[in-house]
Structure 1
Amino acid sequence: MKRLSRILSAASLAFGLALTVVPAGAQTTPPPLKDASPAAIAAAKEILAMKNASAMYANAVPNLVQQTKDQLLQSNLNYQKDLNEVAVIVAQKLAGREKEIGEGMAKVYANEFTEQELKDLVTFYKSPLGQKLLTAEPRAIQFSMSYMNQWAQQFGETINGEFRAEMRKRGKQI
């Protein structure tokens, strides 16, 4: 139980830290996207392809179909067989729609960067340093998250100790 409490505390701290990094406006509905040139969209798509962004949403359709089926099953248990069969049909019917996410992401990039900036980014990502960044950045992010979680857990224990010490000063054991 104590370990679970520590993990939850660390996760909460990590989530809180992540939110402080994101600007407040980024948590709301994004503004409408401006029209971008075909060249800007093409450059954005090239960047996303180099970053293998499609891996993030490759299973979006089957995952959303599964989530919807699971949600419907909660209140319709007697239709389990039918819902399982329908899930296969719906997944097949909507297969490929995850590509819309890639199109949207390209528009977002084209909205955030000028056409020239996107072209410069393509050039950079094709450079040796850009290639190294593409290769090393996912690991660096993974290790950074791991470090942040470890730090949060240790710091959570420090905070817990401070609370206990202050409560002892008040004559209360917790």
Structure 2
Amino acid sequence: MKSTSRRALTIAAALLSLILSAFAALPAMSQQSAEISPEALALARKYVDLTDTGGLYEGTIVQAGIRTYQQLLPQNPEIAGPLDKAIEKVLSDYKGRKSELFDQFARVYAVFFTVEELQQIVDFYSSPTGQRLAKSNASTSGTINRIMDVFASNLNTEFFAAVRAELKAQGIDT
């Protein structure tokens, strides 16, 4: 459960970053290009559905339930039973709202890609290789993120040391 939760959070963070980048770029687009055709939106949604192999939405709402439980239970240990039931009910309510989020994702892709490009993307992800890639993304993203964490940690240490060495070369002690 822990690796699944971390994977879901990693994917959620990556998609949130993509969405935020997309919305930051929207004002720079012309009004005409921001209008999305139904065909583009349908293709973009198909792509989102084809690549939802990691259960991003489900993992995210489960994580919200876990965090809520971890926040409320220590304050009131006697409410464990009712808290479990309340979280289950809210999880159940949210399970039916996946489409809302995925429609938003689709809008982002429909703005950034032409109908022709979206069709090529859907064609690829409908192929056996595309499906294999989509399924492996959930597994590989965790490994890639761990590699990035090590890289970032090493980079921070090396970068700091290099800046201090540069300053020292200029006669500045830090």
TM-score normalised by the chain length of structure 1: 0.55
Deviations 1:113-139 (A, max 9, x none): 222221122234446775675466666
Flag the structure with larger Rg: 1
Give how far 1:171 is off: 8.4
Structure-1 separation of matches of 2:62 and 2:173:
57
Identity %: 24
How has the CA–CA distance of structure 1 residues 75 and 28 changed in structure 2, closer, same or farther, with 3 Å as cutoff?
farther
Quote the residue 2:21 is aligned against. Answer: 26
Quote the residue 1:64 is aligned against. Answer: 64
Structure-2 separation of matches of 1:59 and 1:144:
19
Structure-2 separation of matches of 1:109 and 1:136:
21
Query: Aligned letter for 2:107?
Result: K
Conserved? CA contact 2:45–2:106, under 8 Å: yes
- Structure 1 residues without counterparts, runs of 5 or longer: 1-21
Alignment of 1:27-42 (within 5 A): 36-42=36-42
Structure-2 separation of matches of 1:92 and 1:119:
34
Conserved? CA contact 1:124–1:130, under 8 Å: yes
Query: Aligned letter for 1:67?
Result: R
Give how far 1:161 is off: 4.7
Conserved? CA contact 1:54–1:102, under 8 Å: no
TM-score normalised by the chain length of structure 2: 0.55
Query: Aligned letter for 1:64?
Result: A
Give how far 1:94 is off: 3.4
Structure-1 separation of matches of 2:137 and 2:113:
20
Is 2:116 the partner of 1:116? yes
Conserved? CA contact 1:41–1:106, under 8 Å: yes
RMSD over aligned CA atoms reads: 4.2
